[in-house]
Chains A and B, each alone.
Chain A
Amino acid sequence: MTKQIILLFLVFLMLSCDSNNHIRTYHLPKIHHTNNETFQTKSQKPQLSGFTWEKPDSWIPSQGSSMRIASFDVPFSTGMGDLSVMELGGDGGGLVANVNRWRGQIGLEPLEESEIRAQAQPGESKIGPYEIFQLINDSNSDTAMLTAILPMNNSTLYIKLTASKDGIIDLEKDFKTFCSSIKHDTNI
């Protein structure tokens, strides 16, 4: 009888085990899941334009207008933002005109140059310094913007993230990291 039991045991041992099929519960000290995981996987994609960057894997390349160097769908907790990268010749119309145009798009009044410059957050990329502008209209939380202007020798790079107010706040760190990572390879 023992022999039969051992034999049956050997058969069922191989067939019945499945360590994956279960539910687990555990407790961990608090962490901010978003920041912890966002840049765990990075990817760098050479662009035809010669620009390269680091972006979270969750950013999904999307089809934008022909003027855009790149477009991404950028997910956040309650929706999806749209990020565009554009290179315009010269100063691309200038800082004041562009910021006020964006402000107008979300229902904000235009500002003087001094006021705009006072709101700029400075950053440093591989190409050079850039400025970030966070544009939020508290009476219209559905659409807000995070924009960066990166002047180069003969052109200006405009990076614009459009999302809800919550999305802009959620994605600010990723946006800054993305802007800081932008490089330009003249060999491409």
Chain B
Amino acid sequence: MKLIIKRISHPKIFVYTVIWLMVLTVLGTLAQRNIGLYASQQKYFSSYIIWLGDIIPAPGGRITMVIMLVNLASMLFKHNIWKLKKAGIIIVHLGAVLLFIGSGVTAILSSEGNMVIDEGAQSNYVDDYHNMELAIINTSRENLDEYTVFDQPLLKKGNKLSHESLDFMIEIMEYYNNCKVQRRTEPADIKYKGMMKNFDLVELNLEKENTQNRSGIIYKIENSNLTNDGIYGLILGQSVTQTATINNQNFEFLFRKKRTYLPFSIELLDFKKVLHAGTGIAKSYSSEINLIENGIPRRVLIQMNEPLRHRGYTFFQSSFIEGPEGEATVLAAVKNYGRLFPYISSIVMSIGLFLHLLINLPKLLRKNIIAGKK
């Protein structure tokens, strides 16, 4: 075991991985020009493996950082490091380990999206910026709708989706990250239902800006009944849901941005926009809101650089919409469990470096004195 720890804690591993991380940073930055920021992040930094030139496999950002974490953490398992004179080094390593754990927590558990709220209206959910979901809603009950939601990782071509709340099965036939609706030139086969009777979804090249991509799915309903079994299509932003009545239960099918419901609501009381004098360019925006929790409203002002932090969420004033029915605010909502890690780890590492300097100061001074005498 000692040998294993010795090998995986070798400082050269850290040096090589840091160099590789720098290479990834350069590649990722260059790739942004062609594939956009989000796709570049996903390809180089959020992946375990990347394919150089689509042929050569190489470690992606995540695996590189896992190697760095293991390398740094295993250093702490060395027996000869646990000495008072190396306390500074231990603390610096602990700080670095904390930083990597924090980045892992952020990468895996954080979420970001936006809330669009009309003036006078309230909302209690956040729409994810990038991830989609297929929501199947049983609307048969009188007061409550029952939602069965399949997240994007399940919406892969060939996947079969089922759940105890559904009397039928869904097979994903196609998932497009960007597509458009195209009118059929010839009548469709009888197996196509709903919108797909007259239209088809056609895959498009990805836009650089991920929010401009319009995802869509083609799915097959099986084991329901002869009327509803068939192939359906949904595209992001489709204003009217696909409906079906299966075994006397009414269902609606929605393909939308992944939705996270909050344990509180936000009501937009007033949205204010200040323009630069004589121009149509916004100088500042602010949203006066009611934060409603357990039925109790609390008035808060969200403005540029002054976000609202509540229950782990941070709401930033992001944008606004001016429409015929009034104004709406767009709040960016971020939940980052690893938010404090960089601060804590920076403090820990600073303490470690300072301690290391203090411990070694007498030794350094002695060396200087001896050197001076010589």
Give min CB distance, A75 to chain B, whole Å. 5
- Provide the residues of chain B in CB contact with A76, threshold 8 Å: 239-240
Cα A37 to Cα B241 in complex, Å, equals: 10
B167 at interface by CB-CB < 8 Å: no
Cα A34 to Cα B238 in complex, Å, equals: 9
Per-residue interface assignment for chain A, residues 144 to 176, with 1 indicating a CB less than 8 Å from any chain B CB and 0 otherwise: 000000000000000000000000001100100
Q: Which of A17, A23, A54 contacts B108 (CB 8 A)?
A: A17
B241 touches A75 (CB 8 A): no
A29 touches B143 (CB 8 A): yes
Q: A23-B150, A31-B145, A62-B183 are in contact. Are A177 and B324 (CB under 8 A)?
A: yes
Give min CB distance, B339 to chain A, whole Å. 16
Cα A26 to Cα B149 in complex, Å, equals: 8
A75 touches B181 (CB 8 A): yes
| B16-24, B31-39, B66-74, B302-310 - interface stretch | B66-74
Cα A180 to Cα B324 in complex, Å, equals: 7
A118 at interface by CB-CB < 8 Å: no
Cα A58 to Cα B62 in complex, Å, equals: 36
- Provide the residues of chain A in CB contact with B238, threshold 8 Å: 58, 75
A113 at interface by CB-CB < 8 Å: no
Interface size on B, residues (CB 8 A): 58
A79 touches B163 (CB 8 A): no
Cα A170 to Cα B65 in complex, Å, equals: 51
B361 at interface by CB-CB < 8 Å: no
| B51-59, B85-93, B192-200, B284-292 - interface stretch | B192-200
Residue of B nearest to A63 (CB): B183
Residue of B nearest to A1 (CB): B1
- Provide the residues of chain A in CB contact with B146, threshold 8 Å: 25, 27
Cα A25 to Cα B104 in complex, Å, equals: 27
Cα A10 to Cα B70 in complex, Å, equals: 7
Give min CB distance, A5 to chain B, whole Å. 12
User: Which residue among A22, A23, A58, A78 has the maximum number of chain B CB atoms within 10 Å of its CB?
Assistant: A23
A20 at interface by CB-CB < 8 Å: yes
Give min CB distance, A24 to chain B, whole Å. 5
A79 touches B323 (CB 8 A): no
A25 touches B165 (CB 8 A): yes
A78 touches B195 (CB 8 A): yes
Give min CB distance, A15 to chain B, whole Å. 7
A residues engaging B (CB < 8 A)?
Answer: 3-4, 7, 10-11, 13-15, 17-31, 33-34, 37-42, 54, 56-60, 62, 73-80, 126, 170-171, 174, 177, 180-181
- Listed from nearest, the 4 A-B pairs whose CB atoms lie closest are A181-B324, A57-B237, A76-B240, A58-B239
Beyond A19-B108, A28-B147, A77-B243, list 16 extra A-B contacts (CB 8 Å): A14-B62, A22-B151, A23-B150, A23-B151, A24-B148, A25-B147, A31-B145, A33-B252, A54-B324, A75-B238, A75-B240, A76-B240, A77-B242, A78-B195, A171-B240, A180-B324
Q: List 8 A-B contacts (CB under 8 A).
A: A20-B153, A21-B153, A31-B145, A33-B252, A56-B237, A60-B181, A75-B181, A171-B240
